Amino acid sequence: MYAIVKTGGKQFKAAKDDVIIVEKIDGEKGDTVTLNEVVMVCDDKGVKVGSPFVKGAQVEATIVRQGKAKKINAFNYKPKKNIRKRWGHRQPQTHLRIVSVSGGK
């Protein structure tokens, strides 16, 4: 059984015992998080697709790690003007371990 979950403006496939990396969610390591925005659930009985979400479906997960993604470097310059600007950004992210997927109605 697996579900497609929407969090942080993106969709992720979530099955039991998977570890997914999502946009930062508030909480400490070991906290339990409930993801209610389930777009689709697939199990032995078939596929349930929501419009936009499946009613009663939810995914339980625990926070494994809070961290930052790999650094993205960017560079701007204007030719012939000796103007150069360099910067970087590390996006905060959360690692979630899926505990359970419930199907809903």
Q: Contact at 8 Å (CB) between 14 and 95?
A: no
The pLDDT value given to residue 50: 86
pTM tops 0.85, yes or no: no
Residue 74 tokens read as 């960017």
Number of Cβ atoms within 10 Å of the Cβ of 99: 14
Per-residue pLDDT of the chain (105 residues; tens, 9 = 90+): 999 999 999 999 999 999 999 999 999 999 999 999 999 999 888 999 988 899 999 999 999 999 999 999 999 999 999 999 999 999 999 999 999 998 866
Distance of CA 67 to CAs 10, 27, 57, 98, Å?
18, 12, 28, 18
Q: Which domain holds residue 30?
A: 2-102
Mark residue 82 as left, alpha or beta (left: phi above 0; alpha: psi -120 to 50; beta: remaining): left
